[in-house]
Structure 1
Amino acid sequence: MKKLVYIFLLVIAISAGQSAPVQAQCAMCTISAEQGVKNGNTQAKGLNTGVLYLMAIPYLLIGSLGALWYFKFRKKSTPSLGHD
């Protein structure tokens, strides 16, 4: 089991070290959405809802997996009967 953890950490370290530089368009999207709302564009109004939707999915998946692990695979304690 420890070997699997070490391999996982090695893969994460290698992939983090090989990231390519990117240019984010966050400022461009923000300006576009603000100008669209001021001009009466209805497509820009749904931008915030779409971002929240895309952000919520990973949290729901990770939370579901955490709950599954907690309820399904945790150690079950045996009740003590009071006998020695």
Structure 2
Amino acid sequence: MKVKLGIFLLLLLMPALAEAQCAMCRAVLESEDSQAAAQGINDGIVYLMVFPYLLMGGIAFFIYRSFRSKKDPSS
């Protein structure tokens, strides 16, 4: 159980470590004096990247649950 919790926390904190800017966005934003705009763009890209993974995870969970309920008639 602790291993699963550790993996979950690692995956949950992974977007904080991600550098999600494309090469063109990075080149334009690095030329500015203030890095606040670059950090905001990076956070926005990571934020938008989360939703497809949540959607696919939810679909995979429901498929898994439906297959498991068909195999196990006791539940």
- TM-score interval, normalised by the smaller of the two chains: 0.5 to 0.7
Which aligned segments of 4 or more residues in structure 1 are displaced greater than 4 angstroms? none
Equivalents in 2 of 1:50, 1:34: separation in Å? 16
Higher relative contact order (CA closer than 8 Å, sequence separation 6+): 2
Residue 41 of structure 1: CA displacement? 5.0
Tell me the residue number matched to 2:23.
27
Q: Which runs of 5+ in 1 are unaligned?
A: 1-25, 80-84
- Are 1:57 and 2:14 matched, yes or no? no
Q: TM-score, normalization: structure 2?
A: 0.54
Matched length: 51
Q: Which runs of 5+ in 2 are unaligned?
A: 1-21
RMSD of Structure 2 on Structure 1 (CA) = 1.9
Residue 28 of structure 1: CA displacement? 2.0
Q: TM-score, normalization: structure 1?
A: 0.49
